[in-house]
Amino acid sequence: MRSNALKIMLLTAFTLSFFAFVCGDSKKDTDIQNQTQQQTQTQQQTQNTQTQNTQTKTDSMTTKTDSTDAPTTEGSNIVVLKTSMGDIEIELFEKEAPQHVANFKKLVKSGFYEGTTFHRVIPGFMIQGGDPNSKDSDRSNDGQGGPGYTVPAEINAKHVKGSLAGARMGDQVNPKRESSGSQFYIVTGEASHLDGQYTVYGKVTKGLDIALKIENVKRDAMDNPIDKVTIKKVEFKK
């Protein structure tokens, strides 16, 4: 029997903040590994650029955090993701991850997430969204986009079913484990193996059934839903 570490191997599937997991099912293991192999050439071509841009992205986030995005209690810590399949209500963990929450609130207020999709769904594991590249019809770059900066790691809360966490690049190119500036995932199954590796900054309080419906839609070879599941709007709950 494989250990959890061997069962669930973290793979960097896209160039900005994408991840895929080997989840213990041999067929799923092979499928995900094959997907990653197909993307290796693209990753190699972009890795140097990513490394060169890491400091710039970090500096950008630091500047934003020190000014308009400083941890704040402004705005409700309950948000509602209004998707094309139903509403998902999330409580944000401002105490555990103040910079992530401040950044998420800023993006919500600006309408950043409107029109983005859940571009990666894996049944029994998670659904991922928040990439502005997913707004158009070109699926080839889904998972590679963001606001142009990363968010410093705030690894405190644990992963449970319904957790909201920041997607990120793998440790090889991102040793500080900084999160994507916008991409996130919602846990729909067992994910305790991610504890200590990713920043959890919220949890679904209502609408987990909607997330479970999203994870089970038909998807292509890259786990991208064939029929787009769109985030129509994100609102603060009053």
For the segment 102-131, what is each residue's pLDDT rounded down to a tens digit? 999 999 999 999 999 999 999 999 999 999
- pLDDT for 96: 98
Mean pLDDT of the chain: 79
- pLDDT for 61: 40
- pLDDT for 238: 84
The model scores a pTM over 0.95: no
Q: Cα(103)–Cα(95) distance, rounded to whole angstroms?
A: 14
Look at 24 and 186; give whichever has higher pLDDT. 186
Give the pair of three-digit tokens for residue 191: 């994910």
What one-character DSSP code corresponds to residue 46? H
Q: Is the pLDDT of residue 167 over 60?
A: yes
At the second CATH level, the architecture of 4-236 is: Beta Barrel (2.40)
According to DSSP H, which parts of the chain are helical?
4-7, 26-66, 98-110, 208-215
Contact between 165 and 194 under an 8 Å Cβ cutoff? The reply is: yes
For the segment 199-211, what is each residue's pLDDT rounded down to a tens digit? 999 999 999 999 9
